[in-house]
A = this chain, B = another copy of it.
Amino acid sequence: MTSRLEALCLEKGLKMTGQRRVIAQVLSDADDHPDVEEVHRRAAQIDSRISIATVYRTMRLLEDVEVIERVDLGDGRARYEEASADHHHHLIDTRSGRIIEFASPELEAIKEKIARDLGYKIVGHRLEIYGVPLDDAGEGQ
């Protein structure tokens, strides 16, 4: 069975190797934002002969052809998610590490207006919110 991402890779004309198939599989199955080491860990469970260097190279390749997107969540490493049609941002729960996705047309509109007013055309942007649950916001330290 060829995974969703493997199909995408074929469309893009990428040479499909065993390790790329495994990585495509892992990324198709993921519903979170794994870093390279986590992708490698999951890939190694399917085929242990896969090296971290290949994962690094493949992630970069997939990013270049826009099959996946790099996400910077502020910890030192690069995280990834499947490139999706729906643009969104992330709220990071600093207590639990949970990542909540959100989209906001109003926010995007304001961002556009800010750039336009400054005489700029947007070519990219980044936004993350870090927060703690309202419920236990007063508790602990």
Contacts and interface: CB of A to CB of B under 8 A. Distances in A.
A120 B104 contact: no
A19 B100 CA distance: 43
Greatest chain B CB density within 10 A among A74, A94, A100, A115 is at: A115
Contacts of A115: 91, 129, 131
A110 B133 CA distance: 18
Interface in A69-116: 72, 74, 91, 93-94, 100, 102, 104, 106-107, 110-111, 114-116
Contact of A133 (B74, B120, B132): B120
A94 to B, nearest CB: 6
A127 interface: yes
Nearest to A102: B114
A125 interface: yes
B91 A126 contact: no
21 contacts: A91-B114, A100-B120, A102-B114, A104-B110, A104-B114, A106-B110, A107-B111, A107-B114, A110-B110, A111-B129, A118-B131, A119-B134, A120-B129, A120-B132, A121-B137, A124-B131, A125-B128, A125-B129, A126-B127, A126-B128, A126-B130
